[in-house]
Amino acid sequence: MRPSSSIASSRGTAAPRMYFIPFPTPGHALPMADLARLFASRGADATLVLTRANAARLGGPVARAAAAGLRIRIIALTLPAEAAGLTGGHESADDLPNRELAGPFAIAVDLLAPLFADLLRRQPADAVVFDGVLPWAATAASELGIPRYAFTGTGCFALSVQRALLLHSPQNGVASDTEPFLVPGLPDAVRLTRSRLAEATLPGADSREFLNRMFDAERATTGWVVNSFADLEQRYIEHYEKDTGKPVFAVGPVCLVNGNGDDTLERGRGGEAETAVEAARVLRWLDTKPARSVVYVCFGSLTRFPRDQVAELGMGLADSGANFVWVVGDKNAPPPLPDIDGAAPGRGLVVRGWAPQVAVLRHAAVGAFVTHCGWGAVTEAAAAGVPVLAWPVFAEQFYNEALVVGLAGTGVSMGAERGYVWGGEALGGVVVGREAVAERVRSAMAGEALRGRAREVGERARRAVEAGGSSYEAVGALLEDVLRRLNTYATARTPGRGGRGGMP
């Protein structure tokens, strides 16, 4: 990860100073940490702003990058939890024991605003890359005349769908939750049902605050930074750029900034000895299995299935006849599991809490990925060239499924026609039964055409981040945009030209 000489030389010896601040949960903090290292590798002076808990998780790769000569660091902010009525020391959304604490947690996150503004005043930046759900970070940058770029956390297809649903509300015109409707104004004919929508877009939902935040981000941002690449969703990159009137810099998949060493093995869980032992255990087990014979099963850091659905999933995996690695929830409060050793002796490895996902997906033994279709998981699968078995759970995950299954052709549906309300999973019952799990896994593992398409997209993803590729060029374009705005500011400060105020 050698710094780019072209960027550094364009300002003499100075590198553009960039701050990166994500919403504190793994699905946002992990790709933002990769993003900071990516820009540092291209000559930026990168500062990653995290809560203390996420700083501990993500510090190892950043420290190694700094030791290798990149200009990168972490600044850890203390979450004002007590001021928001949040107890228990929770500093990341995946650590919350129940949804009732989500409100106080969101308030605590917003209370980071003055801390971040004070940081910018004390240690000025040339640009801020802020999480799109933290518009106050853009406000702080704007007040100091600093260019600010919104990191979207998902792809342009899902963003385009969400924007259309919030603006036009086609979901309000159908008679039932299962009646399909057309999402208006998209490059393709995309049909959804109300049972597959994010909560904020459901009829009767209190979506105004979400909509206001979306438009706040649109007004505040200089441009969009997206963990995606042209060959995955080029038409939607162009569509979202046109729809919002702001440039889109598609720089992904950002997980490819991780090599095959320690950065990949501990990504997301720090450098503790326990983490290293678990990573080694999983990879040793995979080493014993034939190529493309293992299905990897993981639903991210926030999904908590009800007990009956866990049992159906486990027995379906056993019935499929495939080898599988199954990552199961929080190791501190795991759900009761069926007897995997008895039902599938030698074929199943259960991991409680965490697995080195990027390293697992890159392993030659892995032939498919059962996932909730969080955008990080989608891009990691694409980068590894592994087909997806899509099982969305909540938020924008059904939109990501529509892209992967319907447009990109790199996945198939597991058959989930409805999701869960986060925090209310216990009331959701069984969404996909044992027989369906077994049949879909068997079919996908035997699908040569599906595997070939995923492999092709993986090759395109890797080419995108190489010198001359679309994502490589997008990183350079964003850095040049920062430098152009800095030069404009410097010109404006010369005698007779006024001050910095009003810089976009």
Annotated catalytic sites, by residue? 28, 131
Phi-psi region of 127 (alpha: psi -120 to 50; beta: other; left: phi over 0): beta
Residue 95 gets which letter from DSSP? Answer: G
Dig out the tokens for 158 from the structure.
């899902």
Separation in Å, CA 220 to CA 131, 148, 170: 12, 7, 27
Q: What is the C-alpha to C-alpha distance for residues 95 and 301, in angstroms, rounded to an integer? A: 9
Instruction: Provide, for the chain, the percentages of residues in helix, strand and coil under a 3-state DSSP scheme, each rounded to the nearest 5.
Output: 50, 15, 35
Separation in Å, CA 331 to CA 29, 346, 354, 409: 21, 22, 8, 34
Q: What is the C-alpha to C-alpha distance for residues 402 and 468, in angstroms, rounded to an integer? A: 30
- Which position has the token pair 């004070």? 118
Separation in Å, CA 501 to CA 246, 262, 488, 493: 20, 44, 12, 10
Q: What kind and span of H or E run contains 351?
A: strand 348-352
